[in-house]
Amino acid sequence: MGKYLKKLPVTNKTLAELSYLSPALQRNKDTTSVLSSLAGRLPTVINPLAISEIDEKLRSYCVDQVLAEKEVDEKNKFRLDVDWWKYIFQRRKNGILK
């Protein structure tokens, strides 16, 4: 995924903040604040009244040790939607990730 980010016009703040969805940045100290900021700038996607709930979920995501230890091979047919986020949503559905 990193090779594609280098080709994007990352001067666009939304695109730059979307890069924080990468598994490599899950434990980054700025991930929660950056993704909360992104959520705040997308009111048609995320209800502004739900921002505090999203902030809580982002904090839980960022400190999840199991996710931090999950092997991510971005060079070998890795898909962000299937191999990473589907796994996270499944953990949340099962009550593991609050």
- Torsion angles phi and psi, residue 52, rounded to 5: -65, -35
Radius of gyration of the chain (CA): 14
Structural domain spans, the chain: 2-93
Q: What angle do CA 59, 89, 17 make, to 5 degrees?
A: 50
Q: Write out the DSSP string of 11-69.
A: TSHHHHHHGGGSGGGTT-TTHHHHHHHHHHT-TTTS-GGGHHHHHHHHHHHHH-HHHHH
Model confidence over 36-80: pLDDT tens digits? 999 998 889 888 888 888 888 888 888 888 888 877 766 677 777
The string of pLDDT tens digits covering residues 20-34 is 988 888 889 999 999
pTM of the model: 0.70
Going 44 to 46 to 9 to 6, the CA torsion angle's sign is: negative
Question: What's residue 94's pLDDT?
Answer: 80
Asked if residue 97 has pLDDT above 80, the reply is no
